[in-house]
Amino acid sequence: MRLLLAEDDPDLSRQLKNFLEDSGYAVDVSLNGEDAHFLGETEAYDAIILDLGLPVMDGISILKQWRKEGVDTPVLILTARDSWSEKVAGLDAGADDYVPKPFQIEEVLARIRALIRRAAGQSSAELSVGGLTLNSASSKVTVDGNPIKLTAQEYKLLSYMMHHPNKVISRTELTEHIYDQDFDRDSNTIEVFVTRIRKKIGLDIIKTIRGLGYQLVAD
């Protein structure tokens, strides 16, 4: 899963990025509104964390532009604690949720997980297909109750597929959603990750759709 973090406070941005990456997300960071608007419009994200007080271009303006341009990525806004009008303006501009500053980083993560689940039509943090279960809150993967150890990239790929069961997903789409912008992306490694995941889970539920990509088949 890949996130855009638009926050101009360098210390807070760094803390959030590190925490989110440790929690299994690929994270791109923008320190000003102009860059944030461009990235949100041109890159593939599963969710966006947007501070409303960005320099160059403010968060409300960015949100309005994104929604006008058809960007439907879930957006979590960061607002001033006592500014109810800012919260209302952000939600009216197209935000999906908000967190007032100062906040606990764990709350931001929990709200992001919830936004991604809702966008994928999932209601629970525990995603199951056959005997395979992935808990997005704990990042644990099990098969018939037995824990499965995955690398960070294998987990990101499986998580994306578990959030989109039965969807045929191209290697390009998977690449866009498991690597951040600065990573040297290579879609050929997707086949390697899929092969490893299949071997580890021991279930015949990830199908190769020739010429199109992969499909996690749910009964």
132-177 residue pLDDT tens: 999 998 999 999 999 999 999 999 999 999 999 999 999 999 999 9
Band of residue 185 on the pLDDT scale cut at 50, 70, 90:
low
Domain with CATH 1.10.10.10 in the chain: 126-216
Q: Both ends of the chain: CA-CA distance in Å?
A: 24
**Model confidence over 14-56: pLDDT tens digits?**
999 999 999 999 999 999 999 999 999 999 999 999 999 999 9
What dotted CATH number matches 126-216? 1.10.10.10
Nearest Cα neighbor of 28 from 50, 60, 11, 53 is 50
Domain with CATH 3.40.50.2300 in the chain: 2-119
Band of residue 186 on the pLDDT scale cut at 50, 70, 90:
low
Question: Which is the CATH superfamily of the domain at 2-119?
Answer: Response regulator (3.40.50.2300)
Quote the pTM value.
0.87
How many degrees, rounded to 5, is the angle at CA 161 between CA 219 and CA 131?
45
